Amino acid sequence: MSTKIPRVPVREQDPKIRVTNFEEVCYGYNLEEAQLEASRCLHCRKPRCIEHCPVSVQIPDFIRQVAQGNLTEAAAIIAEDSSLPSVCGRVCPQESQCEGACVLGVKGEPVAIGKLERFVGDWSIDHGPQTVEKSPAKRQKVAIIGSGPAGLACASDLAKAGYQVKIFEALHRPGGVLEYGIPEFRLPKDKVVAAEVENVKRLGVEIETDVIVGRTVTIDELMDQEGYAAVFIGSGAGLPRFMNIPGENLNGVVSANEFLTRTNLMKAYDDRYDTPIYVGQKVVVVGGGNVAMDAVRTAARLGADATIVYRRGEAELPARQEEVHHAKEEGITFHMLTNPTEILGNDQGWVRAIRCLRMELGEPDASGRRSPIPIPDSAFDLECDVVIMALGTSPNPLIASTTAGLETNRWGCLVADENGQTSRPGIFAGGDAVTGAATVILAMGAGRKAALAIDRYLSNLPV
């Protein structure tokens, strides 16, 4: 154990080369690097890192095993609390969670918990799944709607508790945003997402794809006719928002969700697939979150000159710092304090430019961030042929509108208490469907809490 060793840097693909391909940006640690980094952990008596992990991974315990080279043990410790370590090690905002709370971060650099988790997760994929202890089989069946992180986490814990669990997924591949949203260069689909979904299936969870709950079958039919004793809704927030400015229905304006789904799920990034996608020469992505960074970096990899337009300043960017840093390294242009007011088209109805106003920052708003105020007479046009809107998403109303008595709030999110209990007995919910667009680990945490509540509900204990 030593605080003197500096944080071990992680190797990455050269920015000039990686912007021309969809291979992973970050190479991750090798064993030697992982052991050295793991040796920095102080094994605090009250580990703040665990308190700030929404799924309570026993961080110092697994790190100790990595330091000693006991990778089977390290993987088994993580598997107790997370079925998706390779995913989380890659995409979790560790800087605001476990690593943000690590004591080493007070005076220096925190332990690279995320990179160590990724190392163990990848090792586990390469060396076979961990055996996880399961409770004796129970006869009750639980239906899970959606195979994103919330659904997968809930399903894993219920399967470990002995229930018969089946996930119903609308798309043809499981994984939710991990599969259709986050690009291959940040989260490889076959190597990581499919492999970790397989681990969930090995726990006994069945996954049926191409089932749209609310269309193919309703929740009431699942409960009344198909014998499911409880249902967990983890259907996410896949409905994109637009700005409602003139020109938004011109050809060449798309949501980031559509652009990324065509690229990832429909494999537009792979030359062997003939996926319909319009990339254009000059792409403007409106927004400043992870989704905007993913869209702009994807557009650059598909050959476009790609630009971010964001109405606040750099300090207010909601995207992970690492993603912004990577985007800059890859030559993405950033127009900060810039707000679109209109999209301009040519005679054929295609985008030709986006008209923007320059902004300055005023007082903090309800979110605590300084609000952008337009600078008078500052309008200017940015030439482009594609505009991608990455302004956030909300839940699809289908499930709420086909399930009587299921309450939603004014943003269309399902109403559920801290255990995931909705307004209907036996129906639980969690993840983006309840909170609106958030993070992978928060969705997993909500799935785990709901699994506990479902177990209590089905055991006739107070939830």
The residues binding ligand SF4 (CB under 6 A) are 41-44, 47-49, 59-60, 102-104, 111, 113
Site size for ligand FAD, by CB under 6 A? 43
| DSSP structural state of residue 192 | I
* Beta carbons of 62 and 24 less than 8 angstroms apart: no
In this chain, which of 260, 283, 284, 336 binds ligand FAD, going by CB under 6 A?
Answer: 260
Q: How far is CA 110 from CA 131, 306, 319, in A?
A: 31, 33, 20
**Residue 28 interface partner, choices ligand FAD, ligand SF4, none, CB cut-off 5-8 Å depending on type:** none
Tell me what percent of the chain is helix, strand and coil, each rounded to the nearest 5: 35, 20, 45
Beta strands at 370-374 and 351-364: parallel, antiparallel or unpaired:
antiparallel
Stretch that binds ligand FAD, among 50-58, 94-102, 113-121, 165-173 (CB under 6 A): 165-173
Q: Which is nearer to ligand FAD, 110 or 176 (CB)?
A: 176
- Phi, psi angles (nearest 5°) of residue 334: -115, 120
What is the rounded CA–CA span in Å between residue 84 and residue 152?
9
Which residues is 345 bridged to in the sheet? 351
181 binds ligand FAD (CB under 6 A): yes
- Phi, psi angles (nearest 5°) of residue 406: -90, 110
**Residue 84 interface partner, choices ligand SF4, ligand FAD, none, CB cut-off 5-8 Å depending on type:** none
Which residues is 320 bridged to in the sheet? none
Classify residue 80 as exposed, middle or buried by CB count within 10 Å of its CB (0-12, 13-18, 19+). middle
Stretch that binds ligand FAD, among 47-55, 141-149, 194-202, 366-374 (CB under 6 A): 141-149
Stretch that binds ligand FAD, among 234-242, 302-310, 378-386, 452-460 (CB under 6 A): 234-242
Least CB distance to ligand SF4 at residue 97 (A): 11
Least CB distance to ligand SF4 at residue 57 (A): 11
Least CB distance to ligand SF4 at residue 31 (A): 19
Least CB distance to ligand SF4 at residue 63 (A): 6
Q: Which of residues 353-382 bind ligand FAD (CB under 6 A)?
A: none
Q: How far is CA 288 from CA 50, 283, 304, 358, 402, in A?
A: 29, 15, 19, 16, 34
**Per-residue string for binding with ligand FAD, 285-304, x by CB under 6 A?**
-----xx--x----------
In this chain, which of 75, 439, 455, 458 binds ligand FAD, going by CB under 6 A?
Answer: 439
**Per-residue string for binding with ligand FAD, 378-417, x by CB under 6 A?**
------------------x-xx------------------
* Beta carbons of 361 and 312 less than 8 angstroms apart: yes
92 binds ligand FAD (CB under 6 A): yes
Least CB distance to ligand SF4 at residue 172 (A): 39
427 binds ligand FAD (CB under 6 A): no
Given CA atoms 357, 358, 364, 370 in this order, what sign does their dihedral have?
positive
What is the rounded CA–CA span in Å between residue 278 and residue 286?
17
What is the rounded CA–CA span in Å between residue 113 and residue 424?
39
**Residue 48 interface partner, choices ligand SF4, ligand FAD, none, CB cut-off 5-8 Å depending on type:** ligand SF4
List alpha helices for 302-439, DSSP H: 321-329, 398-401, 432-435
Which residues is 338 bridged to in the sheet? 358
148 binds ligand FAD (CB under 6 A): yes
Place of tokens 């006991």: 70
In this chain, which of 149, 247, 288, 340 binds ligand FAD, going by CB under 6 A?
Answer: 149
Binding site for ligand FAD (CB under 6 A): 91-93, 145-151, 168-171, 176-177, 181-182, 211-214, 234-236, 238, 260, 290-291, 294, 320, 396, 398-399, 431-433, 437-441, 443
